[in-house]
Amino acid sequence: MHTGDWPKTAEDALAVQERLRGLVDLVDDLAELPPTVTGLDVAYDGADGIAAAVVTLETTGLTVVEQRTHRARAVFPYEPGLFAFRELPPLLAALERLDREPDVLVCDGHGLAHPRRFGLACHLGVLTGLPAFGVGKTRFVGSHAEPGPSRGSAEPLVDAGEEVGAVLRTQDGVKPVYVSAGHRIALAHACRLTLALAPRYRLPETTRLADRLSRVALR
């Protein structure tokens, strides 16, 4: 889907979500520890300007392999549950600038943990065909018990009786993150990768570096 064909109204966007969500594939064919991981994030300038950033890291050493940015104007209004339609055009443009195709995409947001089970990570995975999952800072849907206080503790995130993600403690005593599968990866695998990407801080290094790069790109 090209930006020129991008939905302009909430009604059109909901129809696209309904059509594409049936393409989500949760068969996990990703290596347990893929060679690289690519984080994605966006920053806003307070108006309609968006800076998208993608950062690819070596999975084992978490060193930067390459990074790209793209600045654009928003082509979709601010609508809860439809953020992907605002953020995907610049994110896809930044991804296209990478020299190496990502092994897996790590989104600052949600995948199945979405009212229609089609958050940013699902949408991005379906459009690119790449494995993708989301690591959200806050809960969007569902309810959960509080995970234990130690790193690696987790509880199911449940919405309408369905397990849509996991509430994962990445560091001892810090607030948990919300992990959900997006495309071509299982939830348990996404949680293991999230822990591998968060050796020192609450958020995975993919998110931290992409967030920093997107803010720099706005300057």
Closest among 173, 83, 171 to 120, alpha carbons compared = 83
pLDDT for residue 2 = 42
- Look at the alpha carbons of 199, 203, 204, 210 in this order and tell me if their dihedral is positive or negative: negative
pLDDT for residue 76 = 83
Q: Mean pLDDT in the chain?
A: 94
Helix (H, G, I), strand (E, B) or coil at 58: strand
pLDDT confidence of 73, banded at 50, 70, 90? confident
Question: Cβ distance 137 to 108 under 8 Å?
Answer: yes
Averaged over 139-149, what is the pLDDT?
96
Burial of 140 (0-12, 13-18, 19+ CB in 10 A): buried
Q: Is 172 annotated as a binding residue?
A: no
pLDDT for residue 5 = 67
Rounded Cα distance, 113 and 131, in Å: 16
Q: Is 41 annotated as a binding residue?
A: yes
Averaged over 120-132, what is the pLDDT?
96
> pLDDT tens digits for 20-71?
999 999 999 999 999 999 999 999 987 789 999 999 999 999 999 999 999 9
pLDDT for residue 4 = 45
Going from the N-terminus, what domains does the chain have, and what CATH number goes with each?
A: 3-21+28-218 (3.30.2170.10)
Cα 24 to Cα 33, 124, 127, 129, distances in angstroms: 22, 10, 10, 10
